[in-house]
Structure 1
Amino acid sequence: MEKDLTEYELIRSGRKSLTIQIKTDGSVVVRAPLRLAKYRIERFVTEHEDWIRTQQKKAEKYREQVHVITEEERRDGILRAKKIFPERTAYFAKRMGVTYNRITIREQKTRWGSCSSAGNLNFNWKLLLMPPELLDYVVVHELAHRKEMNHSPHFWAIVEKELPDYRKRREKLKILGRQLG
């Protein structure tokens, strides 16, 4: 279903340029300088009609591929995560000879896990919606930071020692991660 291009949200600000943004729901946002005449904005939108339609089709395709998480999935996932992450973390920490402090379960949009310098670990519960080997990869990745707080070659050698196929797991995580919305 094509959206009417005469319908767009206009946001005026102190900016100097005119831009068009297509949101993931296919709606159009036009950002314009405060004093730019309305007819120039409308002409700009008309001139970019093909580009707008193309981006809306891409947004629609993206929405079809993304799994929208229900409240029930979220609730159940967080409960399971509170059990599974401590188990997997304890298992790999023992194997890797590292310690850690607190484990926190979160829901981040862009991160699967993190490790603070104090040894506190954060994990994204959404990992439970993926194959278990990806959860293990994130756990090992974060525990490796207990030895090396960076992503140097030494860090990756620690990860590889525990998970020789970590590169495949990391790539699979990137691909599947885009499908969770």
Structure 2
Amino acid sequence: MITEYKISEEDGSVCIQVLRSARKSIGLEIKAGGEVFARIPARLSDRELKRFLQEHKGWIFDKLRLSRERKENRKAVEAPRMEEMTAAEIARMKERFLERVRHYSGLMGITFGRITVRNQKTRWGSCSEKGNLNFNYLLYFLPKELLDYVVVHELAHRRHMNHSGEFWAEVEKYFPEYKECRKKLKKIGINE
């Protein structure tokens, strides 16, 4: 049984990781790093798998090209690595996050738990069910309105632990220009 399958076109080739399970349909997944996974029914024959992958070869390469283009269009944040920052710089940075969270939590009438600022690899911020807020330190080096948007976004999760219509209405109520900030953050890459 195949566990990896290679497809090619003029742009190059890609190895597809094949994962068999009790599922009934075939699913393709392309990760941000360019890895491609085919999740298939355990009983699917190798011949049927090869036929499916050849039929979807164009779609796979289109998605890989699109992913590459998005990555190339991203702007990286110019910032020192957190490990290279002095204790005084980190203290100043944490104070700024705390000040913005206090400001918006007061406006929104929302409580929060602990605030953590760290080098998050894939997120600008997060909120736990206990109300602990985590922020990516790179926000400190971006325009203030982007930090404020993420603060409001995470505080809004204290009322709505999802991205429902009510959640976005809450964000918009306290940060009307959130859509523009959201677009800007999507264009900015997070350094690893």
Scaled to the shorter chain, the TM-score interval is: 0.5 to 0.7
Going from structure 1 to structure 2, the CA distance change for 1:152 and 1:171 (only over 3 Å counts) comes to closer
Letter in 2 for 1:112: G
Letter in 2 for 1:178: K
Local SS of the residue matching 1:9:
strand
Choose the corresponding residue for 1:136, options 125, 128, 148. 148
Show structure 2 runs of 5+ residues with no match. Answer: 1-9, 161-165
Report the alpha carbon displacement of residue 132 of structure 1 after superposing the two structures with TM: 0.9
Show structure 1 runs of 5+ residues with no match. Answer: 160-165
> Aligned pair count?
170
Match of 1:167 in 2: 176
| Contact 1:111 1:124 (C-alpha < 8 Å) held by counterparts | yes
Query: Cα RMSD (Å) of the superposition?
Result: 4.0
> Partners of 1:153 and 1:57 in 2: how far apart?
31
> Partners of 1:25 and 1:141 in 2: how far apart?
27
> Partners of 1:98 and 1:29 in 2: how far apart?
42
Going from structure 1 to structure 2, the CA distance change for 1:41 and 1:153 (only over 3 Å counts) comes to closer
- Are residue 2 (structure 1) and residue 11 (structure 2) matched? yes
Choose the corresponding residue for 1:105, options 100, 111, 117. 117
> Partners of 2:172 and 2:183 in 1: how far apart?
23
Spell out the pairing of 1:5-154 with structure 2 (5 A cutoff). Answer: 5=14, 7-67=15-75, 72-75=80-83, 79=90, 81-90=93-102, 102-106=114-118, 107=120, 109-110=122-123, 112-114=125-127, 120-139=132-151, 149-150=159-160, 151=166
> Partners of 1:35 and 1:104 in 2: how far apart?
47
Going from structure 1 to structure 2, the CA distance change for 1:70 and 1:41 (only over 3 Å counts) comes to farther
Report the alpha carbon displacement of residue 91 of structure 1 after superposing the two structures with TM: 5.4
Going from structure 1 to structure 2, the CA distance change for 1:14 and 1:74 (only over 3 Å counts) comes to farther
> Partners of 1:143 and 1:32 in 2: how far apart?
40
Local SS of the residue matching 1:4:
strand
Local SS of the residue matching 1:178:
helix
State the identity as a percent. Answer: 32
Going from structure 1 to structure 2, the CA distance change for 1:43 and 1:152 (only over 3 Å counts) comes to closer
Give the TM-score taking structure 1 as reference length.
0.67
